[in-house]
Structure 1
Amino acid sequence: MSFPSSGLLSRGELLVLTDEVSSPAEFLIHRILSTHLKEANESKCLFLSVSESLTRLRAIAGKSNLNLPQYIQSGSFHFVDVASQIDPPVKIETSFNQQPSLKPIFELTKQKLSGWSGTESSVLVILDDISTLEWIGYSITDLLRFIRVLSAFCRKANASLLIRHHIVTPSEPDDILRLLRQLCAYHLEVLPLSTGRSGSVSGQVALHPGPGITQPVHRPITRKLAVQYRLTDTNVVFFERGTGNTVL
């Protein structure tokens, strides 16, 4: 049994990545980003960051031997601080209040992907993360609309899309997760151990095909058979349950 480190993001498809407070999925975002940029010279990535700074992203990339400044200089990697591009909603009790929208982020995405069109480049768009936008006050209606138009445009532009969503109540899927599951090709789930985190096991990962894919390339990994992982200072090690010394 092996855990796929590449091939999850085909062109025009959506990969949903969910995590919980006790099992954050940053390591998978960085792993997918590194794999994508190193796959081919023409690979490009637009990183829409809601909560992570470019400084921290560069530092983590450096630990995994990804020279992010080189990709930035070549124009292959473009980082967007989402908070600097939008105004946080202000709740005013009046029907005439015009709430700020996420349209600037969508327009910026369109502009960047249009500039990359006409080439054979493999393009990846990462939205990290959708949950924080809800927490700062954007309505569910606005977020669902944003997800739909972003997903539709990336599909039209033949770009891969990765969206991370934090799960607050695991037993009750929220409206955002329900929509993401309807649109995705794969749902990659990072879960804590039921017994809590240990020194040798950091968490576990499950993989579910979604309705957005007709012929799954990777076989499902159910929660019951979830692959466990251990984070190191510079990498992540995957292994089957009870085989902590086996690197996959």
Structure 2
Amino acid sequence: MDQIPIRLENDRLKLCGHLWVSVNRSWQVEAEQNQRPRAAFKGTAPLLRLTSDGTRFQTAIAPHEAWWLGFESDPDHNYAVIIGINGVNPLSGQEVVNEAPRSEPRNFLLIPDQPWFDSVRLPDGGYTQLRPVSDEGSPTALSLHVFAISPGLMAPRADASPELRPQYQDSAKTEGFAPDESEHLWSARPLMAALPETPCARVYIDIVPPETFEGTAKITFPKGMFDASPPPAPYNPLGSPNPEA
């Protein structure tokens, strides 16, 4: 499959013609051992193109922050996305080496069924947020291999409410936004046939501290943009500022 040029618009990547991908900043939060951490949306992380072939980028996330990936696509376009974090697939736990999508063990997200990815399931059953710095103290290297799936390979899809999709615009809705546990679309439609083996896009993103990004991009971020602050109360669709109330 011929690869469509990667576009960078408003700190989001447009891949394969119809898939939008963003890296988003959030707070590091604590959660019960068997609960997925839920953090509010701080803002879309800035992206800088590094190479002339348009496949390598750099983004800035402070060491005290967490991050998550957002995916949006046109309703009639489906994609399998293989994620690599420091060379390891967080879904399968296996090394990412030009692998193709497979169902056993499942190693990909299905878009638009799974519109964001914000935490990794641990062997003990718990979860951990995506952090910008590894346990060894090195920055995170992120890779995305994207595969276009023809409609004939997909089971029918029930319409999803727009309210379940990630929110990126500055609005009252995004102030303290965090998806409810029931709104996280981990499940995906079954596939009706073999998956494609040739990606329509490969993207590599280095997650670095803000000061490193500033030096590379020759810019200065607004004062206070990356200051540490306590996380706001999780977004509650019922309207109460405290989900326990």
Scaled by the length of structure 1, what TM-score is found?
A: 0.28
Between Structure 1 and Structure 2, the one with more helix by share is 1
Between Structure 1 and Structure 2, the one with more strand by share is 2
